[in-house]
């Protein structure tokens, strides 16, 4: 009886040791990169996992901790990080931290006009290792096997010369000539060799020149000094800026507070784009839900009639659009709506001639109509399914009583069917609205947010909804990747969806109270 317990304990300890080893490796990597927030999360998570696994008192937490870790890692952390990025100036040219930018700038060099220069020859052995020999006008030679040039005597025994006195080999390294030199140029260009107190770097195919640092950062005064011109650059909103307004790129990431949020409200161009995109997003989500629910409910009422033959077959067929992945259906419909070669335009042209050529992807109105049509096609089976379930829960005796009282079909629909139907479907409709509000797939695959809008301050197309607009700002912006502004919009979207969810909960509770009262 003791052996299985001992064996399981040993397995547990071995697995924990492996996990701890990986965690230590991750902590070292994150610490070297300065990612202290992730480092803390990894360290705390690992300690908790060890405590829960080894402590008997924490046994119940063994089932909760993995879910909590994934909740924090997959949900909480992305939200917190997005909010953090939205308060910075993160965009193209301002991705790195200040220390990383300073390190990059201090590695830049320039060639002084009166600096040293040498002719170079390159040698390579069978393993691909390189040896470089330099010679000046006076005949003095230098050799470098690593990243330092040292004097080389003309009679060095490692040198092998041909009949003309040229050096053709250095030990096991053979001279590279002609096109063979080009194969190693990319490697040599990245090397900076030391020579005494100065540096030498490749300049041309067969020449090395002296290079000196271009910039130096004075940490005490917090200025970047151009060593060639003497100009001092001070950091201004994440960019080293000279007194005359010239800047040194790249910039670095700094905190700007709520500026990205205020830009959305105060910048006329961004505000105009936001209002237009937000309005279309509301219309898109509302019409998609209304049309799909109306179509789904109509079909559900027909298929709920016990006197219709083959209704089970029709139900199966009508669920097909819901069973096919949305991205496949979207791409198929995109081909059908193609202005020049699409089947829909060909049919319309056969019926109406030249007037039947509809610019589905070029005209904003037609593009929006196409998107709503396709999204209705994708979502009506879902509405049909939930409507069928709700209709079958309504007692048939209510309709019989209504018929006896003289109620016509429209009155039965508006006075009985819809009120009772909304008790169970209203929360699902609100959820569908929230899902459609963020339905990136259909918009991105069908139109990509286009056609473009002339004069837009941001990459906001005529059919962009908030989520696709956010994506395009983040990765397809005219001024580069404006990640901070996109994060601010993402936070706003999160607040909107959270508000819709809160309304959903309150509405669900109110309907339950009404239903209990009934």
Contact 251, 93 (CB under 8 A): yes
In the chain, list all ranges with CATH 2.40.430.10: 109-213
Beta-carbon count within 10 A of 205 CB: 11
CA 67 to chain centre: 24
pTM comes to 0.81
How far CA 157 is from CA of 137, 153, 170, 451, in Å, comes to 23, 9, 9, 73
The CATH number assigned to the domain with range 263-517 reads 1.10.3720.10
Burial of 321 (0-12, 13-18, 19+ CB in 10 A): middle
Which pLDDT belongs to residue 512?
58
Which pLDDT belongs to residue 423?
82
Which pLDDT belongs to residue 335?
94
What is d(CA 337, CA 346) in angstroms, rounded to the nearest whole number? 10
Phi, psi of 244 (to 5 degrees): -85, 5
> 91: closest CA among 489, 490, 480, 488?
480
In the chain, list all ranges with CATH 1.20.58: 2-86
In the chain, list all ranges with CATH 1.10.3720.10: 263-517
Which pLDDT belongs to residue 3?
46
CATH superfamily assigned to domain 109-213: D-maltodextrin-binding protein, MBP (2.40.430.10)
The ranges of the chain with pLDDT < 50 are 1-4
The tokens describing 27, both together, are 């902590």
List 134's β-bridge partners, or say none: 120, 142
How far CA 232 is from CA of 227, 235, 242, in Å, comes to 9, 10, 6
What is d(CA 202, CA 207) in angstroms, rounded to the nearest whole number? 6
Which pLDDT belongs to residue 514?
52
Nearest 5°: the CA angle 462, 463, 465 is: 115
Residue 202 makes CB contacts below 8 A (sequence gap 6+) with 120, 185, 188, 189, 191, 208
How far CA 41 is from CA of 33, 44, 452, in Å, comes to 15, 5, 43
The CATH number assigned to the domain with range 2-86 reads 1.20.58
């Amino acid at each position: 009886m003791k052996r299985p317990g001992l064996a399981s304990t040993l397995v547990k300890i071995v697995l924990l040791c492996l996990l701890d080893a990986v965690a230590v490796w991750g902590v070292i990597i994150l610490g070297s990169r300065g990612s202290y927030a992730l480092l803390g999360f990894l360290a705390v998570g690992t300690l908790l996992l060890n405590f829960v696994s080894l402590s008997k008192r924490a046994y119940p937490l063994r089932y909760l901790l993995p879910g909590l870790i994934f909740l924090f890692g997959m949900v909480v952390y992305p939200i917190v990080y997005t909010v953090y990025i939205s308060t910075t100036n993160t965009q193209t040219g301002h991705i790195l931290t200040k220390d990383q930018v300073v390190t990059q700038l201090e590695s830049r060099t320039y060639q002084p006009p009166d600096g040293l220069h040498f002719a170079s020859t390159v040698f390579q052995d069978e393993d691909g290792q390189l040896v470089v020999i330099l010679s000046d006008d006076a005949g003095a030679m230098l050799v470098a096997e690593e990243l330092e040039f040292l004097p080389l005597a003309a009679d060095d025994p490692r040198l092998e010369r041909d009949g003309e006195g040229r050096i053709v080999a250095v030990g096991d390294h053979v001279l590279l000539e002609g096109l063979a030199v080009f194969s190693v140029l990319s490697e040599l260009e990245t090397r900076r060799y030391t020579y005494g107190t100065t540096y030498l770097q490749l300049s041309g195919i067969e020449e090395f020149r002296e290079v000196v640092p271009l910039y130096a950062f004075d940490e005490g005064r917090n200025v970047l000094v151009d060593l060639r011109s003497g100009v001092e650059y001070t950091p201004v909103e994440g960019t080293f800026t000279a007194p005359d307004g010239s800047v040194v790129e790249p910039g670095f990431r700094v905190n700007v507070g709520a500026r990205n949020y205020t830009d959305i409200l105060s910048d006329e161009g961004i505000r105009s784009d936001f209002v237009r995109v937000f309005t279309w997003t509301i219309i898109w989500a509302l019409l998609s839900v209304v049309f799909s629910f109306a179509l789904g409910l109509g079909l559900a009422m027909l298929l709920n009639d016990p006197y219709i033959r083959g209704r089970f077959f029709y139900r199966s067929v009508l669920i097909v659009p819901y069973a096919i992945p949305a991205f496949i259906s979207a791409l198929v419909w995109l081909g059908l709506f193609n202005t020049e070669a699409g089947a829909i335009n060909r049919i319309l042209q056969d019926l109406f001639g030249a007037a039947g050529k509809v610019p589905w992807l070029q005209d904003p109105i037609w593009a929006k109509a196409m998107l709503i049509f396709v999204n209705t096609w994708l979502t009506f089976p879902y509405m049909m399914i939930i409507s069928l379930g709700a209709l079958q829960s309504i007692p048939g005796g209510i309709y019989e009583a209504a018929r006896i009282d003289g109620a016509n079909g429209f009155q039965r629909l508006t006075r009985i069917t819809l009120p009772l139907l909304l008790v169970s479907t209203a929360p699902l409709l609100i959820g569908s609205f929230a899902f459609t509000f963020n339905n990136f797939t259909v918009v991105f695959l069908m139109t990509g947010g286009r056609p473009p809008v002339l004069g837009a301050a941001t990459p906001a197309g005529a059919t962009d909804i908030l989520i696709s607009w956010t994506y395009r700002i983040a990765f397809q912006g005219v001024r580069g990747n404006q990640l901070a502004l996109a994060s601010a919009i993402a936070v706003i979207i999160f607040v909107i969806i959270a508000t819709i969810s809160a309304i959903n909960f309150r509405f669900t509770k109110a309907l339950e109270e009404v239903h209990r009262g009934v």
